[in-house]
Amino acid sequence: MKRREFITLFGGAAAAWPLSARAQQSNRLRRVGILIPYPPTDMEMQASVRALREVLQQRGWTTGSNVEFDERWTTDNMDLIRAAAANLLELKPDVVVAVGGRVIPVLMQMTRSVPIIVPGGSDPVERGWAQSLARPGGNITGFSMLERSLIGKMLQTLKDIAPSISRVAMIYNPDNPGAAIYARSFEESAEPLAVQPIIVHAHGLADIERAITSMAEQPGGGIFFAPDLTVQRFSEQIVAIVARRRLPAIYSMRTAATLGGLVYYGTDRVDLWRRAASYVDRVLRGEKPGDLPFQLPTKYTLVINLKTARTLGLEIPPRLLFTADEVIE
């Protein structure tokens, strides 16, 4: 079942670069730094980086001929992230592609001149990454992973699938500067749904497991996984723990649904990297990141694991089955 309604949140699609301009390339070798705060075993991020490089190749950028890519895979270890960021900047890149609410501030402290393209994140103006969405003004621009109203839609989706839930824990690493923004939206969305919002801070897998176990000790519990590097790092283990505790949960990482998680609702991250390639191309050809609008999502993806729903004794509403982009049976 592959049907979803497009939700247009921001009108400015990236302007197409003239074909004649694409044909005129400088002989100078350009450098593209890529900072990825995930392990190299993360399949979704591997696919994202491949998509970025493939689109750039289609636009005329060939590795070893006119462009070099410097990738750094760090996991969410902040010491490794800071070291990798410094190392990339020492190579004098023409542009850096990076994600992560804890990663971008590190780069901002190190440079205000090297262009930074962000295929993810949220609330760039509130976080100080951009002066405005339409005209960021500095050296950072990109494509947001979510708009704040998505948090409420995710919670509503979980409630629709598991109507008996009365308490839901949002789990995230408090070191994530976007977490407070997500938490506010989560708490505001919970009351109209007759759900008690519970905020859980987790620095690692042990904290996450304790929170899940605690929620399972009383009836009516559910889990909400906010976008977070630490949570995504342990996707496979988290899905297994939630399954053992037989709790309904909604995830912000698509891989969770394929691993057996009940439901995923969010942005296609691979597509964000594909779209980010257009901005990398434009910056390499002379445009300034501060002149390129920071774009909000134009589409969200709903994936439901029907097998997991049956295991939990849940009946998916026909409306959700009809509108889901993917139903895993």
| Residues in CB range of 223: below 8 A, 6 or more apart | 168, 169, 171, 211, 212, 215, 242, 247, 248, 249, 250
Class of domain 149-266+301-328: alpha beta
Residue 26 confidence (pLDDT): 53
Note the pLDDT of residue 227: 86
According to CATH, where is 3.40.50.2300 located in the chain? 19-145+268-291, 149-266+301-328
What percentage of the chain carries pLDDT values higher than 70?
92
What pLDDT was estimated at residue 5?
Answer: 35
Owner of token pair 């760090």? 74
Reply yes or no on whether the pLDDT at 125 is more than 50. Answer: yes
pLDDT grade, residue 181 (50/70/90)?
confident
Reported as a single tens digit per residue, the pLDDT across 218-246 is: 999 999 998 888 888 899 999 999 999 99
Q: Rounded mean pLDDT of 18-32?
A: 61
Residue-level pLDDT at 178: 75
pLDDT, mean over the chain: 89
Is the predicted pLDDT of residue 115 greater than 50, yes or no? yes
- Looking at the structure, give the CATH architecture of the domain made up of residues 19-145+268-291: 3-Layer(aba) Sandwich (3.40)
Instruction: Count CB-CB contacts under 10 A for residue 62.
Output: 10
For residue 4, what pLDDT is reported?
Answer: 40
The DSSP result for 252-310, as a single string, is SSHHHHHHT-SEEEE--HHHHHHHHHHHHHHHHTT--GGGS--BPPS--EEEEEHHHHH
Contact 251, 304 (CB under 8 A): no
22 pLDDT more than 60: no
The count of other CB atoms within 10 Å of the CB of residue 269 is 24
pLDDT of residue 240: 97
Residue type at 293 in one-letter notation:
P
Rounded to the nearest 5 percent, the helix, strand and coil shares of the chain are 40, 20, 40
3-state secondary structure of 149: helix
Task: Reply yes or no on whether the pLDDT at 6 is more than 70.
Answer: no
What average pLDDT does the segment 154-166 reach? 97
What is the pairing mode between strands 326-328 and 30-36? unpaired
